[in-house]
Structure 1
Amino acid sequence: MTGWRLAGRVVAAYAVGFVMFLGLRHWQAGLPWSEAARDAAVFAFISTVVGLAFRRAFRVGECRKDGRSG
């Protein structure tokens, strides 16, 4: 996967996570929009980084299973 394609997927995952967490924090927790946006940004960032780490770990595991390095 090229760098631009991966970057696009990361941005899309962050945007979806941000909107999802924004709705959860505002409507279910009853936070004002400003606090909900701040919380959503943090939660979406953490989720995106964890997702990238899992993606990398699974890719390395598949490469080792196939006998390739990397």
Structure 2
Amino acid sequence: MNMRDKIAKKDGLLLCPEGAATAVAYKQALQRGMISDSQRAILYNCASGLKYPMPALFSTINKNEQVDYSIF
């Protein structure tokens, strides 16, 4: 789920495991020279990450206090 978490943090998308697997395959294809980064590619996320258990929470925010965005 490393790729799913990276994409969620960078792009704000919650991919399903299958969608994250397409991103891993794309990255591997780039590294192996099967495709170049100048080519266009479409990655499909066929489901929602919401139907899978969410990762454990390590911190919370208080809605009544100013948010310290650096913790994200």
- TM-score, with normalisation over the residues of structure 2? 0.29
- TM-score, with normalisation over the residues of structure 1? 0.29
